[in-house]
Amino acid sequence: MGRTIAVLGGVVLAWAVVAEEPLLGPSVTVMHENDMVVRTDRHYTAGTKLNLLGSEVAVNGTNSGWPGWLADRVPDFGPTPTSARIGLGIGQNIYTPTDTATTALQPHDRPYAGVLYASLVLQTRGATSSGTARMDNWRLDLGIIGPGSLGEDAQNTVHRVRHLPTANGWANQLQNEPALALRYQRTWRYTPAEPRDWGWDFLPAAGVSLGNIGTYAALGGQVRAGWHLPNDFGTVTIDSLNAPSGGRASDDPRQLGWYVFVGVEGRAVAYNSTLDGNIFRTSHHVDKFPLVGDTKFGAVLSCKWFDVTLAEVIRTKEFIGQREIDAFGSLAVSFKWGRAH
């Protein structure tokens, strides 16, 4: 029995990580997603987002500034984090029905909708009481749904430049109203051994979103395997609850790395404005499925100054009457710097 306990204890310790990780510098991430990668042009058809994250600061220090001030005012849900940083984002998502050639309203297909929003992000890192690395993301999205989002202009301008047919049913899009969502996600990082040249890790996550952009609970995770895995918390897509966690420690000796990943996420959806329609006025809407699942996979090239991510996302049906599941490709480029001392 004693030997069994010792072996189990060794396994637990093998999954633990060092809580005091080096502070990361600032990063800028540009993401674009489009379903033309899989030769479709429907439903969630395109998205673009720019994320900026500042340098991490030690929250227990005397010069933690705004990141430390904000970190002190949100729940820790466990031990106090060791570092924090704030960030900003701006993004636009575009949604259409399958048939974009007709000008007629399509009552049994997804509404035309655009969402334009800005984000305020608080990202904290630390460890659980057992020593497992964890990251919390708090994000407030504020923007507009409807013609003011410029969804029609963005889609049809790109189509004209690329000599593609324009979408003709935007007169039926959702009407203007404020877009709001408060989002939170915690991600853990389990590493089965001490970091080496080759390795893998597991990154489970759980979170919640509240607002008319989306009200839902999410649970999922991803597995990464490769050479010189970075000490971040995996890849994200535009509608992920967490922001990109990249950055560079000033003393990181690893100049180049790469990895492949596969992840899943399930959502229990209470409200989605791009399916349920406008809140404050009558609009086109469809009956959504309460449970939606994503599968994503791809590869990342991680360099000293930048990362490049290529991914594909496959999404289950989102509304009653939807004929096929959806898929889209994702490209993200992150530029990162060491933290200034």
Q: What is the pLDDT of residue 20?
A: 62
Nearest residue to 259 via CA among 202, 219, 332, 200: 200
Q: What is the pLDDT of residue 246?
A: 82
- Band of the pLDDT at 340, cuts 50, 70, 90? low
Element (H, E) at 152: helix 151-161
Residue extents of the structural domains in the chain: 28-336
| DSSP tag of 170 | G
Which residues, in sequence order, are bridge partners of residue 225? 200, 260
- Enter the tokens of residue 115: 């969402």
Query: How far apart are alpha carbons 136 and 186 in whole angstroms?
Result: 5
First to last CA, the chain: 51
Express each pLDDT in 81-108 by its tens digit: 999 999 999 999 999 999 999 999 999 9
Express each pLDDT in 265-301 by its tens digit: 999 999 999 999 999 889 999 999 999 999 999 999 9
CB 291 within 8 A of CB 269: yes
The C-alpha angle 133, 186, 23, rounded to 5 degrees, equals: 45
| DSSP tag of 73 | T
SS3 131: coil
SS3 30: strand
- The single residue listed with the structure tokens 């935007």 is 170
- Enter the tokens of residue 163: 């000599």
| DSSP tag of 251 | T
C-alpha separations of 180 from 143, 164, 176, 267 in Å:
7, 33, 13, 18
User: Does residue 7 register a pLDDT over 70?
Assistant: no
The C-alpha angle 340, 335, 184, rounded to 5 degrees, equals: 85
CB 125 within 8 A of CB 177: no
Residues in the chain: 341
CB 272 within 8 A of CB 331: no
40 residue type, one letter: T
Q: What is the pLDDT of residue 17?
A: 41
- Which phi and psi (to 5°) does residue 172 adopt? -95, 10
Q: What is the pLDDT of residue 37?
A: 85
Higher pLDDT pick, 9 / 330: 330
Q: pLDDT exceeding 70 applies to what percent of the chain?
A: 91
pTM: 0.90
- The single residue listed with the structure tokens 């791809």 is 298
C-alpha separations of 187 from 125, 136, 299, 314, 334 in Å:
10, 7, 20, 21, 20
The CATH label, of 3.40.640.10, 1.10.10.60, 3.10.20.90, 2.40.128.140, for the domain at 28-336 is 2.40.128.140
Q: Determine the number of helices (DSSP H) and then strands (DSSP E) in the chain.
A: 4, 13
Query: How far apart are alpha carbons 10 and 238 in whole angstroms?
Result: 38
Query: How far apart are alpha carbons 122 and 233 in whole angstroms?
Result: 15
Express each pLDDT in 32-64 by its tens digit: 999 988 888 999 999 999 999 999 999 876 678
CB 142 within 8 A of CB 118: yes
Express each pLDDT in 108-145 by its tens digit: 999 999 999 999 999 999 999 999 999 999 999 999 99
Could you write out the DSSP letters of every residue in 255-323?
A: -EEEEEEEEEEEEEEEE-HHHH--SSS------B-SEEEEEEEEEEEEESSEEEEEEEEEE---BTT--
